[in-house]
């Protein structure tokens, strides 16, 4: 059971839910709507499991055997998650048609991610868009413009972090997946990632000076990457920066 829970990537699921909450808070939506948040949490976890299922044979090269050694139960687990996610999407559609259409597009992007692994830039782009999409629920629901900068900042940030994740998998991904590190090498990839993180930091400050505590960590991460230093340290700083930024926005919007 522990391995099934791990497959959900609970820290990522938590951040997706928090991102949705923050978006509604800065949009001054009043009471937080539960259904979009629950849908976001389930879809985030389902996409993680979907990716593990599609990459189960490739992940053996990384020392990850659970999905490949338990194909049938893992597939059943994935299908149950998709059924629950689809049910929540139907609930959103019943609540408001626009929310249902948005949820459907959100699901589609999550489904096709693993099928785009050999297309230049597209996998990282889809991860960035899907990860940032919870921010857009208020924009879809009641045409709020407040989350637009948060969506842009989050997209830039996730794109940069995804490059760092691809750096970790660089050796295993050769011949299997198109990534910036495989195509351009470590140094150029770190430079590009650093520029994306720097752009995300600037956008966050434009959104609100309340994000400054988190942005400090993002700027430190960007400096490390631009100096071609260890990206593992930069990843930790980015994760702290993301969490601090979202918590700051949420608290100061109460």
Q: What domains can be seen in the chain, in order of their start residue?
A: 2-252 (1.10.600)
Question: Contact 177/123 with Cβ under 8 angstroms?
Answer: yes
Please give the structure tokens belonging to residue 113. Answer: 């991610």
Output the tens digit of pLDDT for each of the chain's 254 residues. Answer: 788 999 999 999 999 999 999 999 988 777 788 999 999 999 999 999 999 999 898 888 888 889 999 999 999 999 999 999 999 999 999 999 999 999 999 899 888 887 888 888 888 888 899 899 999 999 888 877 778 899 999 999 999 999 999 998 888 878 788 888 988 999 999 999 999 999 999 999 999 999 999 999 999 999 999 999 999 999 999 999 999 999 999 887 75
Whole-angstrom Cα distance, residue 254 to residue 247?
Answer: 11
- Please report where in the chains the tokens 């976890």 appear, as a residue: 45
CA distance 218 to 199: 10
């Amino acid at each position: 059971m522990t391995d099934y829970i791990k497959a959900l990537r609970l820290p990522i699921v938590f951040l997706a839910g928090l991102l949705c909450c923050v978006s509604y808070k800065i949009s001054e939506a009043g009471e937080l709507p539960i259904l979009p948040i629950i849908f976001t949490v389930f879809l985030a976890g389902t996409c993680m499991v979907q990716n593990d299922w599609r990459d189960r044979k490739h992940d053996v090269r990384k020392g990850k055997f659970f999905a490949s050694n338990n194909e049938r139960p893992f597939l059943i687990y994935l299908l149950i998650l998709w059924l629950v996610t689809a049910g929540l999407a139907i609930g959103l559609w019943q609540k408001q048609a626009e929310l249902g259409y948005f949820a459907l597009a959100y699901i589609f992007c999550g489904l096709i991610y693993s099928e785009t692994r050999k297309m230049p830039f597209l996998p990282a782009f889809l991860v960035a868009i899907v990860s940032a999409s919870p921010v857009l629920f208020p924009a879809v629901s009641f045409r709020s413009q407040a989350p637009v900068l948060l969506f842009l900042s989050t997209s830039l940030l996730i794109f940069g972090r995804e490059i760092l994740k691809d750096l970790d998998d660089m050796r295993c991904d050769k011949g299997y997946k198109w990534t910036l590190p495989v195509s351009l090498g470590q140094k150029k990839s770190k430079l590009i990632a650093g520029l994306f993180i720097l752009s995300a930091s600037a956008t966050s400050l434009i959104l609100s000076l309340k994000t400054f505590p988190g942005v400090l960590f993002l700027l430190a991460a960007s400096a490390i990457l631009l100096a071609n230093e260890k990206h593992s340290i930069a990843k930790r700083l980015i994760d702290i920066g993301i969490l601090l930024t979202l918590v700051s926005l949420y608290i100061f919007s109460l």
